Chain A
Amino acid sequence: MRPGRFSGGGKMKLNERSVAHYATCDTPPDKTGFLFKKGERNTAYHRRWFILKGNMLFYFEERDSREPIGVIVLEGCTVELCESAEEFAFAIKFDCAKARVYKMAAENHAAMESWVKALSRASFDYMRLVVKELERQLEEIQEAAGGQQGRPKPSRRNQIARPKSGASLSSSSLSSLSSSSSTPSMTALFSAQKGLQDEVQLFPGSSRENGVAWSKPAAALANGFTEGASSCAAWEGSADSGIAIGCGADGARAPPVPPRRIGASLETPVSPGTGCFSKLHEWYGREVMEVREQWLQSQ
């Protein structure tokens, strides 16, 4: 393997113009507002206009600037409140070697909480988790109704093309909750990034789409994941659309969720023996409910 190229220079390419276009195109942003961002070299906080869209956090010099100064890709990160001379401070932390910590500060307490929540749930993996869960629920509802919802199951195509490249099992998985010394409430609630990917890698026999094994009623594997594929497309009625119906563990109920590990910010709720979407989400769901209750009580 040739050594990394970036130590000496030579920047990784990115389709920057199109990325910047995504920031300002007509799809609605998930959150916008002013935040103070600590500079990289210069440690002063600069007030910037932020636009959060999907898993991308763009920042602009001014609210009416046409082009962003920069973007932070929000995968593999946690968002935490932090100790700082600056009021209403929080940090975006990445789980990789020599990763940067982005220190930010909001203008008031409500804004800080709102941003921490929004950023914690901004990852693609998190969105994927929620989609999976809703798919599963919908399938359950439809099956309970006798499967007579009038929508034909989409045809299933066989998966091919297993990943060739080093798709390594990441040993450290991501937090579900970031710990914070201050309020328990608005720290990262749902951070299902690498945890989800770990889960996918644990079942090498299963084929996948969007990193998730879809199940088929027949041929269930022991772990509840089965081989299969489904077509999945935008549901607005485009020409070749068909909605994917994926199941988590069907058949036997999954064994109980492993006990919640308090304060373990880098542990995964998914251990090799218990990988299953419904459990994973149950775990997160309970976490969220517990934290929410704590927050409500503290109000």
Chain B
Amino acid sequence: MRFNERELVSLSRQPSELAAELGMRGPKKGDVVKKRLVKLVVNFLFYFRTDEEEPVGALLLEQCRVEKEDSQTFSIAFLDEAERKYVFECDNEEHCKKWIDSINKASYEFMRRNLIYYRTEIHRLTGKDPLEQYGISDETRFQVSNGQQLKARDTSSL
């Protein structure tokens, strides 16, 4: 599958949510732990060899499950191949929890759910759709579910 690699490399150099040197082991049998600079940018996890400018690789963090493996280790597995785990070793437990938390929140779908929650809640409390003023109420990506629209309670505005 083709992808816009150059742009992805450029993205990997953007400011990150979280970055640290971790021990990383690939999902294949026989993969060993390697020291990598791991960097979380938007919904991607980039990993670099230390001191290299361009990443070895990237993981898109959608449809994945992050699990604590032990006190300092977490894993990422993707739902389509749940047995294959990428394993990451952190410096300490707090560090590990921070990574797990951050990765869980790094998916687009996670943000979308939050947005829908806030939108619905604000509408419930105020009778108004908060996205109306920005002209983006009809955007598919913000729909509550299955394209249902939020209607104003106040019928005079209809």
Q: Given A70-B2, A164-B21, A2–B14 Cβ distance below 8 Å?
A: no
B108 engages A54 (CB within 8 Å) = yes
List, in ascending order, chain B residues with CB within 8 A of A261's CB.
Answer: none
* Chain A 144-178 near chain B by CB (<8 Å), digits 1 or 0: 01000100000000001101111111100000000
Measured in the bound complex, the distance between the Cα atoms of B122 and A141 in whole Å is 8
A20 engages B1 (CB within 8 Å) = yes
Does B125 count as interface, using CB distance less than 8 angstroms? Answer: yes
Measured in the bound complex, the distance between the Cα atoms of B145 and A17 in whole Å is 27
A194 engages B14 (CB within 8 Å) = yes
**Partner pick for B5 among A6, A30, A233, A289, CB 8 A cutoff:** A6
Contact count band on B = 35 or more
List, in ascending order, chain B residues with CB within 8 A of A201's CB.
Answer: 15
Measured in the bound complex, the distance between the Cα atoms of B121 and A17 in whole Å is 36
Measured in the bound complex, the distance between the Cα atoms of B16 and A5 in whole Å is 21
List, in ascending order, chain B residues with CB within 8 A of A4's CB.
Answer: 53-54
Q: Which of A118-126, A218-226, A247-255, A268-276 contacts B (4 or more CB under 8 A)?
A: A118-126
A167 engages B7 (CB within 8 Å) = no
Measured in the bound complex, the distance between the Cα atoms of B118 and A235 in whole Å is 10
Q: Which of A72-80, A83-91, A104-112 contacts B (4 or more CB under 8 A)?
A: A72-80
Does B66 count as interface, using CB distance less than 8 angstroms? Answer: no
List, in ascending order, chain A residues with CB within 8 A of B39's CB.
Answer: 163, 165
B136 engages A12 (CB within 8 Å) = no
Does A258 count as interface, using CB distance less than 8 angstroms? Answer: no
B11 engages A73 (CB within 8 Å) = yes
Measured in the bound complex, the distance between the Cα atoms of B78 and A76 in whole Å is 25
**CB-contacts of B108-129 with A (<8 A):** 108-115, 117-119, 121-122, 125-126
B2 engages A71 (CB within 8 Å) = yes
Does A96 count as interface, using CB distance less than 8 angstroms? Answer: yes
**CB-contacts of B22-70 with A (<8 A):** 37, 39, 42-43, 48, 51-60, 62-64
B18 engages A131 (CB within 8 Å) = no
List, in ascending order, chain B residues with CB within 8 A of A235's CB.
Answer: 113-114, 117
A98 engages B6 (CB within 8 Å) = yes
Distance in angstroms from A125 CB to nearest chain B CB is 7
Most buried by A among B7, B117, B122: B7
Distance in angstroms from A96 CB to nearest chain B CB is 4
Measured in the bound complex, the distance between the Cα atoms of B119 and A285 in whole Å is 16
* Chain B 70-102 near chain A by CB (<8 Å), digits 1 or 0: 000000001111000000000000110011011
**Partner pick for B134 among A149, A163, A285, CB 8 A cutoff:** A285
List, in ascending order, chain B residues with CB within 8 A of A131's CB.
Answer: 111, 114-115, 118
Closest residue of chain B to A70 (Cβ to Cβ) is B2
Does A257 count as interface, using CB distance less than 8 angstroms? Answer: no
Does A210 count as interface, using CB distance less than 8 angstroms? Answer: yes
Most buried by A among B37, B79, B134: B134
Q: Given A72-B4, A138-B118, A163-B16, A1–B53 Cβ distance below 8 Å?
A: yes
B1 engages A76 (CB within 8 Å) = no
List, in ascending order, chain A residues with CB within 8 A of B6's CB.
Answer: 6, 94, 96, 98-100
Does A197 count as interface, using CB distance less than 8 angstroms? Answer: yes
A18 engages B15 (CB within 8 Å) = no
Known: A30-B140, A167-B16. 19 other contacts (CB 8 A): A11-B5, A12-B55, A15-B59, A18-B78, A22-B60, A31-B140, A55-B42, A73-B3, A96-B6, A99-B6, A131-B111, A138-B118, A160-B98, A163-B15, A163-B16, A164-B21, A190-B134, A210-B106, A285-B134
Residues of B with Cβ closer than 8 Å to A? 1-11, 13-21, 37, 39, 42-43, 48, 51-60, 62-64, 78-81, 94-95, 98-99, 101-102, 104-106, 108-115, 117-119, 121-122, 125-126, 130-131, 133-136, 139-142, 146
| 5 residue pairs bridging A and B, Cβ less than 8 Å apart | A27-B109, A96-B10, A127-B108, A127-B115, A142-B125
Residues of A with Cβ closer than 8 Å to B? 1-6, 11-22, 25, 27-28, 30-31, 54-56, 67-73, 75-77, 94, 96-100, 117-118, 121-125, 127-128, 130-131, 133-135, 137-138, 141-142, 145, 149, 160-161, 163-170, 189-190, 194, 197-198, 200-201, 208-211, 231-236, 243-244, 284-285, 288-289, 292
